[in-house]
Amino acid sequence: MLVTVEHGRAVRVAGDPDHPFTNGFLCAKVNRYVERTYHRDHVLHPLKRVGPKGSGRFEPVSWDAALADIAGRLNAIAQSREGPQAILPYSYAGTMGMLQGSSMDRRFFHRLGASKLNRTICSAAGAAGMQMTVGANIGADAEGMPESDLVLLWGTNTLTSNPHLWPFVRRARERGARVVAIDPIRTRTAAQCDEWIGIQPGTDAALALGMMHVVFARGLEDADYLARYTLGEAELRARAAEFTPQRVAAITGVDAATVERLGEAFGHAKAAFVRINYGLQRHAGGGMAVRTIACLPAVCGHWRRPGGGVQLSTSANFQFNKRELERPDLSPPVRTINMIRLGEALTRPDAGVGGPPVRALVVYNSNPAAVAPDRNAVLRGLARDDLFTVVLEHFQTDTADWADYVLPATTQLEHWDVHLAYGHHYVTLNRPSIAPLGEAKPNTQIFRDLAARMDLDHPSLRDDDVTLIRQALDAQGEKMRGVTFETLLARGWARLNVPTPYLPFAEGGFPTPSGKCEFRSERMLEMGLDPVPAYTPPYESPERAPDLVARFPLVLVSSPAHQFLNSTFVNVDALRRGAGEPECVVHPRDAERRGITAGMRVAVSNDRGTFTAVARVEDSIREGVVWAPSVWWGKLTVDGANANQTTSQRETDLGHGPVFYDNRVEVSPAD
């Protein structure tokens, strides 16, 4: 991102035209970064709560007073009978920078002996699924996509959530590739593809097994690749044999002829590029679904060729020195709390987390009062009068409203950072382009200051940000060779030390225990799971919960609105105007049965909660599925509610991830 600064003020942000992947453009949201930065509501001074919890009444205080009080309160908890584990950090994707996201903060909480947070809310299931099959969350290189002859956009709304991939999709298509979207919603992405396959949510593993069934039945597999580089071919063949197109059709709602056609197209392709993304793993069997789809390119040998393979992420290629950055060695043995069960951790300390109740919550880079599942439970927890809450933020979010202190954090325009990527292979340096606004400080500085106030004495708690960048880059991995602070300073970005395009598994070399692509996984077996790819029905499916499904027949998908980045940017006027109001897309037949017409206000509800939205009646969605573009701030909706009112704190099969879209609801006219 290039920032134009005039008289110390940022006036324009733009993509870097020299960047080989992002190609000179920014997404719809980040294009508004100047507007967001100089927003009238930007929090620029430390704030202390003056009204009752949740009232949103605060007054400015000095940094000195805020830090002294916070340090005193945290120290008192640490020294109490309950001890430092009663303190819980909570952070995620506000910035995913190595410094402002996971460096000094971790050192601080480790040294303090606070509870650890298992950061599962986004990608944990899919990452674990990739590890089981190919050994790491790495995959095909998008820069090879133009060589591809079949592109499957599978559980990903590319034009919204990964727009920089689109030019590569287009180039492949111009050269003759067919582009297919597999998604319960005919998203703006699916509408641009050659074909939309409107699958039943949570059933993708069955479709992948059906494709393998067809491939094996027609003899379209790559016998040489299978023999050399895979483990468990016989077991996979036996499993795939069970998934006839008819059976797959009954599970997925995709008709048998389409399953056959897709399997044949995949088998005949030379280099199919399967872009899976995190949407499809937000279900009970999300880990297994990703693991199963990840078997496909090995069956047909597509990993051999540019444009072939599967990509969930490229992130595990970025071998930053996390041990040095985060210093886990500073932490005593402590409990770990799963971030998606925040509601439970705050309200039911007996519910299996063990140890003392959470007495203090320090939130940064996250807005759990909007994004965490089972929002009613989260809000009940945040409302506790005996919970001391500190929020580092840019804005007075739903979460900040419940804080005792809100501390002003800098934005990416104001601080240093270094970033990995999860869709390409370039490291990015984030240089500050303007001075901090108001009294804002980088997260790193806030934790350095707090450490000093709390007498947490350790030399690593004093490292400055440029030192942190050098430590992050001081990695041993071959892929990081040549990526130095100096090269990054000169150009802003650097490609990992891998060829273009990067073919990670052209000749096997899978980082699994066996070194092969593991169709059969001993590790899965040790976890008590099926060692061979399988179909795991959603929690809230007719197979597993028929009574619930009878009461709540519709599956709610609450994937991102085009204008929002999770809950970031919801308060930026131009983007919120673009999103309109909270909406719920309903298929015409589902609408008719319920007396719902377009534009009507509807209540979306289940046993966990209710939110209201304006109905959009369209056939751009599979019957039986509804879509609420998300993630709204509760405080910016008419009823104070959002889609997470209805989502559950249940966990996926692998990785303890969330099941946001494994969520049954009923929709009815709201008077």
Ligand X SMILES: Nc1nc2c(c(=O)[nH]1)N[C@H]1C(S)=C(S)[C@@H](COP(=O)(O)OP(=O)(O)OC[C@H]3O[C@@H](n4cnc5c(=O)[nH]c(N)nc54)[C@H](O)[C@@H]3O)O[C@H]1N2
Of the ranges 114-122, 401-409, 471-479, 548-556, which one interacts with Mo ion (CB under 5 A)? 114-122
Shortest distance in whole angstroms from residue 330 CB to ligand X: 21
- Which does residue 533 bind out of ligand X, Mo ion, none, counting CB within 5 to 8 angstroms by kind? none
Report the alpha-carbon distance of residue 4 to residue 235 in Å, rounded: 58
Which of ligand X, Mo ion, none is residue 252 near (CB under 5 to 8 Å by kind)? none
Number of residues that bind Mo ion (CB under 5 A): 1
Q: Which is nearer to ligand X, 13 or 199 (CB)?
A: 199
Q: Which residue is nearest to Mo ion (CB)?
A: 122
Nearest-angstrom CA–CA distance, 517 and 523: 13
User: How many chain residues touch ligand X (CB under 6 A)?
Assistant: 57
CB of 527 within 8 A of CB of 518? no
In the complex with Mo ion, the residue whose CB is nearer, 122 or 180, is: 122
For residue 22, the partner it binds in Mo ion, ligand X, none, with Cβ less than 5 to 8 A by kind, is none
- Residue-level length of the chain: 671
118-126, 158-166, 367-375, 646-654 -> range binding Mo ion (CB under 5 A) = 118-126
In the DSSP assignment, the letter for residue 164 is G
Q: Does 420 bind Mo ion (CB under 5 A)?
A: no
Residue closest to 444 by CA, chosen among 466, 421, 420: 466
The answer to whether 100 contacts ligand X (rule: CB under 6 A) is yes
Nearest residue (CB) to Mo ion, 122 versus 138:
122
How far apart are CB 173 and ligand X at their closest, in Å? 19
Closest distance of CB 364 from ligand X, Å: 4
Cβ-Cβ contacts under 8 Å for 347 (sequence gap 6 or more):
377, 380, 381, 384
| Selected binder of ligand X within 280, 353, 387, 584 (CB under 6 A) | 280
* Site map 60..79 versus ligand X, x via CB under 6 A: --------------------
Answer with the entry of Mo ion, ligand X, none that 314 interacts with (C-beta below 5 to 8 A by kind): none
Interaction between residue 122 and Mo ion (CB under 5 A): yes
Q: Shortest distance, CB of residue 83 to ligand X, whole angstroms? A: 26
Residue 564 interacts with, from Mo ion, ligand X, none (CB under 5-8 Å by kind) = ligand X
* Residue of 225, 314, 229, 306 whose CA lies nearest to 273: 306
Considering only 69, 105, 147, 204, the residue that binds ligand X (CB under 6 A) is 204
Radius of gyration, alpha carbons of the chain: 25
Considering the rule CB under 6 A, would residue 85 count as an interface residue with ligand X?
no
Of the ranges 140-148, 157-165, 232-240, 603-611, which one interacts with ligand X (CB under 6 A)?
157-165
* Contact predicate 293/275, CB 8 Å: no
- Mark the segment that binds Mo ion (CB under 5 A) among 51-59, 62-70, 116-124, 470-478: 116-124
> What span, in angstroms and rounded, lies between the C-alpha atoms of 664 and 644?
12
Give the one entry of ligand X, Mo ion, none that residue 151 binds, where binding means its C-beta sits below a cut-off of 5 to 8 angstroms depending on kind. none
Site for ligand X in 287-346 (CB under 6 A): none
Q: What single letter denotes the amino acid at residue 535?
A: Y
d(CA 240, CA 263): 12
Burial track 423-460 (b if 16+ CB lie within 10 A, e otherwise): bbbbbbbbebbeebbeebbbbbbbbbbbbebbebeeeb
The window from 354-362, 456-464, 480-488, 557-565 that contacts ligand X (CB under 6 A) reads: 557-565
Is residue 557 involved in binding ligand X (CB under 6 A)?
Answer: yes
Q: Nearest distance from residue 43's CB to ligand X, in Å? A: 9
Residue closer to ligand X (CB basis): 155 or 306: 155
User: Helix crossing, 204-218 with 233-242: angle to 10°?
Assistant: 110
Residue 450 in the binding site for ligand X (CB under 6 A)? no
* Spatial distance between the Cα atoms of 125 and 650, rounded to a whole number of angstroms: 12
Rule CB under 5 A: say whether 104 interacts with Mo ion: no
92 binds ligand X (CB under 6 A): yes
Q: Positive or negative, the Cα torsion across 360, 364, 366, 369?
A: positive
- 356 phi and psi, to 5 degrees? -70, 160
Q: Give yes or no for residue 339 binding Mo ion (CB under 5 A).
A: no
φ, ψ at 36 (rounded to 5°): -65, -40
- 37 versus 244: smaller Cβ distance to ligand X: 37
Q: What CA–CA distance (Å, rounded) separates 351 from 337? A: 11
Grouping H, G, I as helix, E, B as strand and the rest as coil, residue 649 is coil
Kindly tell me which of 477 and 553 has the beta carbon lying closer to ligand X: 553
Kindly provide the b/e burial profile for residues 309-325, where b requires at least 16 CB atoms within 10 angstroms of the residue's own CB.
Answer: bbbbbbbbbbbbbbebb
For position 600 contacting Mo ion by CB under 5 A, the verdict is: no
Applying the rule CB under 6 A, the residues between 348 and 407 that interact with ligand X are 364-367, 371, 392-395, 397
Helices and strands (H and E) in the chain: how many: 26, 26
- Amino acid (one-letter) located at 589: R
Q: Tell me the CA distances in angstroms from 230 to 286, 516, 669, one per residue in order.
A: 22, 5, 53
Task: Annotate each residue in 642-671 with x if it binds ligand X (CB under 6 A) or - if it does not, as one string.
Answer: -xx--x------------xx----------
Residue 372 interacting with Mo ion (CB under 5 A):
no
Residue 365 buriedness (CB in 10 A; 0-12 / 13-18 / 19+):
buried
d(CA 430, CA 442): 13
Q: Which 108-147 positions form the footprint of ligand X (CB under 6 A)?
A: 121-122
3-state class (DSSP) for residue 280: helix
Which of 443, 444, 648, 649 is close enough to bind ligand X by CB under 6 A? Answer: 443
Q: Is 519 in the site for ligand X (CB under 6 A)?
A: no
Binding site for Mo ion (CB under 5 A): 122
Binding site for ligand X (CB under 6 A): 29, 92-95, 100, 121-122, 154-157, 160-161, 182-185, 187, 199, 201-202, 204, 277-280, 283, 364-367, 371, 392-395, 397, 409, 443, 557-560, 562, 564-568, 630-631, 643-644, 647, 660-661
